Structure 1
Amino acid sequence: LEEERQLKKQQRALARQQKKIELPKSLESMVNDVERRQNKFDHEKLPTNDQMNASNETGEGDERSRKTFYREFKKVVDASDIIIQVLDARDPLGCRCPQVEEAVLTSGKNKKLILLLNKIDLIPRDNLDKWLKYLRNEFPTIAFRSSTQNQRDRLGHVKASLKACDEHLLKSSNKCIGASTLMNLLSNYCRKFDIKTSITVGIVGFPNVGKSSVINSLKRSQACETGSMPGITKQMQTIKLDKLIKLFDSPGIVMSRDTNPSSLVLRNCIR
């Protein structure tokens, strides 16, 4: 019996010793595997830092298309005096793009950034007021509802201010809300900087936040093609709003490739 206990003790000791021997080998194997996969990843053709890892609206993995979308977006930012970043009122922070905001603030060309909270008819009025208060601590923020009228031109505007609009009007009207406030802000920029010629305004944002619909509402006509699917706008479009203001529509892009694809699908940013 004593010999049997000693034998089992030796077997356990041998097993522990074997584990100690195998563990470094296992760890070494894991490290080598990680290094191998990392090297493979590093050699893949990914967007450069200058391209800010942009991905196109369609969600397709085609690198050429991705670069094309980014070039069109960058043209809009470079050519604009004022950048309007369109946000979906249902998820304003999820739609914000820090790379765009940083590019505007560090451009050294006195560019101005405006946040436009679109689709305000899809959230409760109390939520809207709280979001406006929060966002206005950082940048000028306009509450907006794009027109949903079907006619090709003469799209209507609600002339009342946001304060005068109750929740029923926000949700029931098919006319644009917030256009007059935005136009007044743009006109103030013209006067403040004594701009004699036209100013250029770039409309940027995530796919499917309603950039083209905002432009159509301001123009009061169907100047840009729109749709419920992301990827409608493929390249920069120029729309002359009036003698002082020129608008640039841009393709919607998601800057960071670290963004969870599931969250992009839920926001209808990719197909």
Structure 2
Amino acid sequence: KKRNLDTLVQEALKKQRVFENKKTTQPNDTPSQNGGKPLENSMKLFYKEFRKVVDKADVILEVLDARDPLGSRCHEVEQSVLSSGTNKKLALLLNKIDLVPRENVEAWLKYLRNEFPTLPIKASTQSQMDNLSQSKLDISSISDELYRSSHCLGAAKLMNLLRNYCRSEGFKMAINVGVVGFPNTGKSSIINSLKRCKSCNVGATPGVTRMMQEVQLDKHIKLLDSPGVVMAQGKSDVAQILRNVVKIDTLPDSIEAVDAIVNRCNKEQLMLHYNIVDYQDVREFLALLAIRLGKLNKGGIPNVNKAARIVLQDWVSGKITYYTHPPEQSDVPAYVSAEIVTTMSKAFDIESIKPQEIQVLDTLKKKSCKHFLVDSVGPIPTLTQEPLSEDELMSDDDGNDENIMIDNDEVEAMDEEADGKIELSNTTII
């Protein structure tokens, strides 16, 4: 096969595409998001399992973290679902509502329902294998003990929503309901809450679910659990920890992540929360906290790294009860049309479950000094297409190589013509 200048240029462009693809999918070469496995393999695994769920499901439930719904939302996932067929329906689940004020949950419900049907829920966090509790008590009998318990709130409302869909669409067979979202948003916990037993593995760290899992809820509904969404672009560990999608033990620099948290939170609230005096920067904050908690190295030197990991654990577990405000103006994505909003709302019949929703919201605490108002980290691009391998990138356009080939004689003629033009331009006319 003849090689000339044009073919060399084409090969260089292909190698550049390979390099840029690696730079995008493997920016930091860190295993923090996927438990030690190469990120490229994790992305391909997610894509494979995600496509299984979307293709098989009749309804997709996207689970959002109520503390930052915008930061835990996946626009690419929503687009992928909507483009998979007109018969597929999408609804949003606002999980962990017990960690934010009631007023904030109501504001987010109003905002998100401009686009898709949205339900508030608190998944069960009980540790036993069977008989997971679901609260169905009247509002007059709900106590602080129940509110602080690990019981599920809103499960009956979600079941009614799915049954409404079955009736409206006239399903005679069982429907498949896919559950998707970022790691650690509570996808598997929601499935266990509905099933009232541990059908799916759950954990406080992200990445527990690796493969699609099927759970038969009843004769009408089958649930499909999926792995957590993988970020498509290289983001720092700070961006990942703020979204609660990273394993703390794998962070190379905990102090940098804590610095982002400290900058987002009100200083006076942090001082009251950890019972420490005023501080100037993150290292002084961690030193004061380490002294108060007794985390000291030899010679009484504060162990700021241990203190940093404690703060990060408090952030992801909900001990730092942060929340975010929805945007003042509803910026509906381009892929969400008025027709889609109307069709989705009609299929699920949200209005029929409003009385149950009010009972659930009445169990939530109102805003207090313990709640930290922070800015949302905002949405982030996620992976919904399988990344191309190096061989696929290198083989791209190979079929067109012959069309761009130039005979060596033609190349020499072009070179001579170019040299002649150069000589002519350098000639001095007297």
| TM-score > 0.5 by shorter chain | yes
Query: Which digits, 9 at most, give the CA deviation of each residue in 1:65-124, with x for residues without a partner?
Result: 320122111111111000000000111000000011111222224111110000011111
- Shift in alpha-carbon separation, 1:197–1:63, aligned structure 2, 3 A: same
Q: Does structure 1 residue 211 correspond to structure 2 residue 194? A: no
The 8 Å contact of residues 43 and 230 in structure 2, kept in 1 or not, is answered as no
**Structure 1: how far apart are the matches of 2:103 and 2:239?**
25
- Shift in alpha-carbon separation, 1:41–1:112, aligned structure 2, 3 A: same
Match of 2:96 in 1: 119
- Shift in alpha-carbon separation, 1:199–1:164, aligned structure 2, 3 A: farther
Structure 1 stretches lacking a partner, 5+ long: 1-34, 49-54
Q: Aligned with 1:95: secondary structure?
A: coil
Q: 1:223 aligns with which of 199, 202, 221?
A: 199
- Shift in alpha-carbon separation, 1:167–1:116, aligned structure 2, 3 A: farther
The 8 Å contact of residues 123 and 189 in structure 2, kept in 1 or not, is answered as yes
Structure 2 stretches lacking a partner, 5+ long: 1-11, 26-31, 248-430
Q: How many pairs are equivalent? A: 229
TM-score calculated relative to the size of structure 1: 0.76
**Structure 2: how far apart are the matches of 1:109 and 1:257?**
29
The 8 Å contact of residues 198 and 243 in structure 1, kept in 2 or not, is answered as yes
Q: Does structure 1 residue 182 correspond to structure 2 residue 158? A: yes
Query: Which digits, 9 at most, give the CA deviation of each residue in 1:228-251, with x for residues without a partner?
Result: 111100100000000010000000
**Structure 2: how far apart are the matches of 1:47 and 1:77?**
25
Match of 1:254 in 2: 230
TM-score calculated relative to the size of structure 2: 0.49
Q: Does structure 1 residue 94 correspond to structure 2 residue 62? A: no
**Structure 2: how far apart are the matches of 1:140 and 1:76?**
20
AA aligned to 1:85 is E
Q: Aligned with 1:96: secondary structure?
A: coil
Give, in angstroms, the shift of residue 133 of structure 1.
1.1
Q: Which moved more, 1:164-173 or 1:142-151?
A: 164-173
TM alignment of 1:73-84, pairs within 5 A: 73-84=50-61
**Structure 2: how far apart are the matches of 1:46 and 1:170?**
49
AA aligned to 2:82 is L
The 8 Å contact of residues 122 and 171 in structure 1, kept in 2 or not, is answered as no
The 8 Å contact of residues 46 and 230 in structure 2, kept in 1 or not, is answered as no
Q: 1:135 aligns with which of 112, 116, 135?
A: 112
The 8 Å contact of residues 33 and 245 in structure 2, kept in 1 or not, is answered as no
AA aligned to 1:210 is G
CA-atom RMSD, angstroms? 2.8
Give, in angstroms, the shift of residue 261 of structure 1.
3.7
TM alignment of 1:1-271, pairs within 5 A: 39=16, 42=19, 44-45=21-22, 57-58=34-35, 60-160=37-137, 168=144, 171-271=147-247
Match of 1:29 in 2: none
Query: Identity over the aligned pairs, expressed in percent?
Result: 53
AA aligned to 2:87 is N
- Shift in alpha-carbon separation, 1:265–1:61, aligned structure 2, 3 A: farther
Give, in angstroms, the shift of residue 208 of structure 1.
0.6
